[in-house]
Chains A and B, each alone.
Chain A
């Protein structure tokens, strides 16, 4: 959310990151400081338009004097802090976080995954062959788990949910970054159609009693798709093209235009492949809409073209 208007000029704090002195505004995070001196920091649950949930822990850094590593995306910079982003301790935790995720989640459409996994020399295969999908996953009892012989690495794999014509939910790809929940709920959409349910390894994004989206409160604004970093939430059009092996991102063009359905005038980014719109995003850095749209801007393109298979 945008900061309230500040009447006083913001004060600066000076800290040290990997030996370099950095000045940032009071209230900015260690991540902001890292960005300022161009130190690459992996992030997954951080979203520029959302309050950080700091759940993934891939962005951790070492702060001298702190007992444990700190999430750079949400820990505020403090004057005199000495931060290390590349110590063995930091690298080991980041690597393990990536290995834990890659061994339990399908990261095939997480765009940053290959780069991160390589940079940290992650070897998710060390946990052994992956367990097959569990169709009962949405119904596990909290606080219970079956005894395991450990020979298969547990995964979050389950069937993909296709229950409407607009977007698909493949929670086998979900890293539980909470961004969709926050976008749907109090931070943006105020619809609260989805929540985290269950707990521990069984925690999952769900509607009430796992009802299909059309029976839920969902208004198909697609603001959850916009923030999802993994492709767990995906335009049906993109999903279908990928299934057909026809998704060719490198060939796509992106055209920015203004939505004409109402007077608000939201910015749209139309992703076009083979002369047809395949998905719609909205610029997250827009000062008014922050990447959010409504069903008309997000999915109304289906009226502008008769894409193969598009029904209405």
Chain B
């Protein structure tokens, strides 16, 4: 490889940030002091450092966290230390929204502009910021702060939400939700004493039927002892007495289906990974949770982080996997702190690492922080992201169970899926399957947001109706009417107010041509301008497309443009022509895109047109 680097040295801070993560440079070859005698005879770095490529995203984060952006000299230094060509490092850094490659102040306020927050006044918040602080990207007089719009921050139960990221020696990221204009401005001007958010408490707190949420709001999430006092780690002990094959049998008997959106049977996935001869194998917890309207995984990770660590340990034990990653979206600082504490305590107590509980098996677990990219929730994009490449989905086959991260057999599961494993072990597979419907067993978490009296995460058995769920959350406030409900998130679809009796199970929604997706139930009352919502959904997909394939890269843009023309009352060639065009674009995105992002990018928009009749004569 030819590496040609800028001859500009990084600053001491930049260098230190990199070296703290990678260790000191060994020789002149990888960016250290040059020693004329030894360096001309032995070349170090090269192969060994390239094997560390998976550290690229953590290293980029280290510089981002320290300085606030990645400068050309810092990037060149990373490139040299890791033996990765600078063009590639730049390609990776410029892929992520939370990494800046242009000079940026150390403090950036990310302001959610997504659909749930829109219902809760984020447009006004943004307008006020523009007026009182300056346009997006404007820098404060002291040069320390700026703000940017952001996609859904996963705080939709308490929007409008903002996230402050502050770089420095002690970098700090914090969520403020709900954020009034006063809060946002105070945070931007570094006023002291503005309180961040606390973990969300479920409205069902204390309800004895709770299984997945039962410890949330009850235990101290930062205390492993508290967790153990409330039944924590009983399941791991039970799992060990079942043996690996026994655990997988229970999971298969439970008919647990993945909760990440694709509803794939977990037992089948685990069995396939367990049977793979290749070593090592990996387990990844998909905690990227970036589907607009989704925040259930955050509530679990913030409120009961040890349960995720225990579930993953059981999964590792069952499949003979010794290495696990939690791929956590970068917008979840509170969840990251809670999980890190759970992991650290588990290591201290012999519940992670070698010879767990003296049972002779090993499981190591680490968090990998994403950097602002919805697409990195797609399972194969996660692999590339972890490996230090651009988060572009791979084509399948080969499938992850065969060739996943590092081209090794990989089981990847959603947070909620993994948490259910504890319940399966507790009740046995068949016992678990008694709850719910034939095709959808167990309990399900739903994220209620938008115009709803008590937004939040709700846990109900599969098989209830959408109406019951909305009633459980108090219905629409102020006696207003429901205009539409978005099921499954931006990649899901809208249903009408006369469809609320739809049964909430994978099979029933499939029959009704909609989806549960990631469990989003976003309610829009009759005051909401649906044109604005649709345009934002279209913009979301445009912004989040990885850009790899033409149908999605350009199709999402053309879809957004057509919706904008319709919304502004200036359709080209009439409304019907525009609607046909949108359907044509949608067909190609659905049929010819590489991954689920492009395939679902027209789903909500088309359902709004076909089911809600949004652009029909007389509709709003």
Contacts and interface: CB of A to CB of B under 8 A. Distances in A.
Asked whether A and B interact, the reply is yes
Contact of B542 (A69, A145, A209): A145
A311 to B, nearest CB: 23
A192 B562 contact: no
Contacts of A194: 87
Given A97-B592, A201-B542, A203-B553, A195 B91 contact: yes
Contacts of B375: 199
A92 B584 contact: yes
Interface stretch (A100-108, A229-237, A257-265): A100-108
B280 interface: no
Given A103-B558, A208-B89, A142 B549 contact: no
Interface string A28-60: 000000000000000000000000011111101
B547 A202 contact: yes
A196 interface: yes
A56 B592 CA distance: 9
B554 A199 contact: no
B547 A206 contact: no
A191 interface: yes
Task: Determine chain A's interface SS by DSSP, over half rule.
Answer: loop
A242 interface: no
A200 B148 CA distance: 18
B591 A93 contact: yes
A173 B546 CA distance: 20
Nearest to B151: A143
B561 A127 contact: yes
Interface string B43-82: 0000000000000000000000000000010011001000
Interface string A141-178: 11111011111011000000000000000000001100
Interface in B1-45: 1-4, 6
Contact of B546 (A150, A151, A199, A208): A199
B587 A197 contact: no
Nearest to B150: A143
B90 A193 contact: no
Contact of B554 (A151, A191, A201, A207): A201
A149 B564 contact: yes
- Residue with the highest number of chain A CB atoms closer than 10 Å, among B3, B85, B86, B554: B554
Interface size class of A (residues with CB under 8 A): 35 or more
Nearest to B539: A145
A126 interface: yes
Nearest to A127: B558
B91 A143 contact: no
Interface string B501-542: 000000000000000000000000000000000010001001
B90 A199 contact: no
A85 B75 CA distance: 46
A128 B578 CA distance: 11
A310 interface: no
Contacts of B535: 147
B549 A57 contact: yes
A69 B594 CA distance: 9
B290 to A, nearest CB: 11
Given A96-B588, A142-B95, A211-B6, 8 more contacts: A101-B550, A104-B557, A141-B100, A142-B96, A149-B568, A175-B550, A192-B1, A199-B375
